């Protein structure tokens, strides 16, 4: 659906200072809200001239449910609900809303039963000459955004992840090499831009080397300016030089960039106005990371204070502002007219770009074909040789998994070609001097609590590795390798995702029908 937006020159004259400030606010919208909550947001949009909204799954999603006490609501019709809500909220707005979402690996990041594409760490394993596949991922995700009425995908992540214990970035990063991250992020951006959808690089000045989740606390990056220039800041500088719609500033304490102060980067003038604007020369829209995150929110109990500090530091858009009314009042009371106008113009120009038009999309993409091609190019022979694998394939072996082996696509596909016994990991503790084909499916993608594994199961796995000839296929976060003695395995293969097409590709790799051309984009402890 098309929405008419007046030009900036007219808007600058027609809108009051309060209306202009309202355009800088992007509160959260939730697909699974109650009617009462929906009406409340409609009133907020209409009354305070809100400029945009950012969609999340539910109020129990990761960004808001810090303690994990709220039950996550499942909604089989999330996509249709999303489209209806966007129409309702647009109808409530005096000026068309800029609709945003985090869709790093597709709408599925926030919306059930929508296309899901591989995580960034998976795309990071693709050979350099397969960048067109990342372009296609960005393009397809952009199409899905457009089909729903979304203008702005708040991605990609350009954090260089060099901390295996990072609780919040990790698999969301393309890898730990700055050039790899930059190159692959640019492919994603170009694919997204080809469909006329806006992008944002995040989380400035770099969230890769932290062991603290900024949803819960304030990460400290205690590196020198030289170190930051060499690594964390590098992708931002390179991509800014090539042109980008916006930069999202994270909630990070980086004293080397803020005159020794431990002020969160999202409210630091030294970092936003100094480093990002003056030094890196960024002239586009600066958007804050979600202002409800505990890294900042818990330290500013006075309603509106955090919103004012974020704006005054240089953020043009205040994402997930929880105190919109009070924030608008604080900015109206304290900000200079030129300060308001500068941010308003940036935001309105961005909205003009978003509403320029382009081809309409009414249906969701079908990810399987692209995901299959990615799976075939990213599969990684981390340890061992093709000859080792070919020899093992011809042997008599037992298949083992941490989940019911007979339910895995990987083993199901193999059993169409080969005969072998299957067993679950806990029941395999007594195996000695056997050939074992192990398929690992980490229960979680994040590193906390051993990626969701039972510690006893990992002890059993390590004992099996020590006394058997093991071929290991990992369908999950490769950082999982840090928790097992995988150097004792004969062969280790990284399949990265547990999608059906990835499991089928892995089985074809085991059978020698797919060559391994991927390369792990992060380091693990043992190899």
Compute how many other C-beta atoms are within 10 angstroms of the C-beta atom of residue 426.
12
Report the relative pairing of strands 98-101 and 421-424 from DSSP bridges.
unpaired
Tokens read off for 323 = 């105190």
CA 424 – CA 402 distance, rounded (Å): 6
402 beta partners = none
Compute how many other C-beta atoms are within 10 angstroms of the C-beta atom of residue 44. Answer: 19
Q: Which residues contact 255 (CB under 8 A, 6 or more apart)?
A: 220, 222, 261, 262
Coil, helix or strand for 64?
Answer: coil
> From CA 84, how far away is CA 114, in angstroms rounded?
16
Contact 376, 493 (CB under 8 A): no
DSSP assignments along 2-44, one per residue: ------HHHHHHHS-HHHHHHTTEE-EEETT--HHHHHHHHHH
- Cβ proximity of 468 and 434 under 8 Å: yes
Marked catalytic residue, from 33, 144, 177, 289: 289
297's CB contacts (< 8 A; 6+ apart) are: 291, 306, 322
In terms of DSSP H, where are the helices of 23-163?
35-48, 78-92, 120-123, 131-148
User: Phi/psi at 337 (nearest 5 deg)?
Assistant: -55, -40
**Which residue is catalytic, options 203, 215, 251, 413?**
215
H or E element in which residue 52 lies: strand 52-56
Pairing of strands 318-319, 469-474: unpaired
Report the SS3 class of residue 418. Answer: coil
Report the C-alpha gap between 383 and 493 in whole angstroms. 7
Burial class (CB in 10 A: 0-12, 13-18, 19+), 8: middle
- 457 is annotated as an active-site residue: no
Tell me which residue of 55, 65, 59, 64 sits closest to 29, measured CA to CA. Answer: 55
CB-based contacts of 310: which residues, under 8 Å, 6+ apart?
A: 266, 267, 288, 291, 318
Element (H, E) at 439: strand 435-440
Phi, psi of 131 (to 5 degrees): -60, -25
Residue 509 among the catalytic residues: no
Residue 55's nearest CA partner among 260, 337, 238, 290 is: 290
Residue located via tokens 């220039």:
229
Nearest to 250 by CA among 211, 207, 308: 207
Beta bridge partners of 438: 400, 472
Instruction: Kindly list the catalytic residues.
Output: 215, 289
């Amino acid at each position: 659906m098309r929405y008419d937006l007046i030009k900036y020159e007219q808007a600058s004259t027609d809108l009051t200072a309060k209306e202009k400030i309202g355009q800088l606010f992007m509160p959260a919208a939730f697909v699974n809200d109650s009617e009462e909550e929906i009406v409340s947001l409609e009133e907020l949009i209409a009354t305070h001239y809100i400029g945009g909204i950012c969609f999340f799954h539910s109020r129990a999603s990761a960004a808001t449910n810090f303690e994990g006490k709220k039950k996550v609501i499942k909604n089989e019709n999330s996509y249709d609900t999303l489209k209806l809500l966007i129409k309702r909220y647009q109808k409530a707005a005096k000026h068309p809303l800029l609709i945003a979402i985090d869709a790093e690996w597709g709408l599925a990041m926030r919306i059930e039963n929508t296309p899901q594409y591989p995580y960034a760490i998976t795309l990071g394993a693709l050979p350099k000459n397969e960048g067109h596949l990342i372009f296609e991922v960005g393009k397809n995700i952009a199409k899905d955004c457009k089909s729903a009425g979304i203008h702005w995908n708040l991605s990609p992540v350009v954090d260089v992840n060099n901390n295996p214990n990072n609780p919040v970035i990790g698999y969301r990063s393309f890898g730990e090499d700055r050039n790899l991250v930059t190159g692959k992020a640019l492919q994603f951006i170009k694919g997204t831009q080809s469909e006329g959808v806006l992008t944002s690089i995040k989380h400035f000045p770099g969230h890769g080397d932290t062991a603290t989740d900024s949803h819960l606390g304030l990460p400290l990056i205690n590196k020198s300016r030289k170190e930051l220039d060499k690594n964390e800041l590098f992708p931002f500088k390179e991509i800014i030089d090539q042109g980008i719609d916006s930069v999202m500033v994270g909630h990070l304490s980086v004293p080397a960039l803020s005159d020794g102060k431990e002020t969160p980067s999202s409210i630091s003038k030294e970092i936003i106005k100094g480093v990002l604007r003056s030094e890196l020369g960024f002239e586009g829209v600066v958007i804050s990371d979600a202002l409800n995150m505990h890294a900042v929110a818990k330290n500013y109990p006075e309603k509106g204070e955090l919103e004012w500090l974020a704006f005054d530091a240089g953020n043009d858009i205040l994402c997930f502002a929880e105190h919109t009314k009070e924030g608008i009042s604080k900015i109206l009371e304290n900000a200079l007219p030129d300060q308001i106008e500068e941010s308003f113009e940036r935001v309105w120009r961005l909205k003009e770009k978003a509403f320029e038009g382009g081809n309409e999309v009414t249906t969701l993409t079908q990810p399987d074909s692209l995901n299959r091609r990615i799976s075939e190019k990213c599969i990684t022979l981390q340890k061992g040789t093709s000859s080792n694998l070919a020899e093992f394939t011809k042997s008599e072996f037992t298949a083992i998994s941490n989940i019911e082996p007979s339910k895995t696509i990987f083993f199901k596909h193999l059993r169409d070609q080969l005969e072998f016994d299957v067993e679950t990991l806990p029941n395999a503790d007594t195996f000695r001097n056997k050939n074992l084909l192990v398929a690992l499916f980490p229960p979680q993608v994040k590193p906390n609590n051993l990626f969701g594994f039972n510690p006893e199961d990992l002890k059993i796995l390590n004992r099996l590795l020590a006394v058997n000839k093991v071929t290991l296929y990992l369908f999950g976060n490769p950082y999982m390798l840090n928790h097992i003695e995988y150097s004792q395995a004969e062969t280790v293969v990284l399949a990265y995702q547990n999608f059906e097409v990835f499991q089928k590709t892995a089985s074809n790799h085991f059978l020698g029908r797919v060559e391994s051309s991927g390369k792990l984009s992060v380091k693990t402890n043992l190899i």
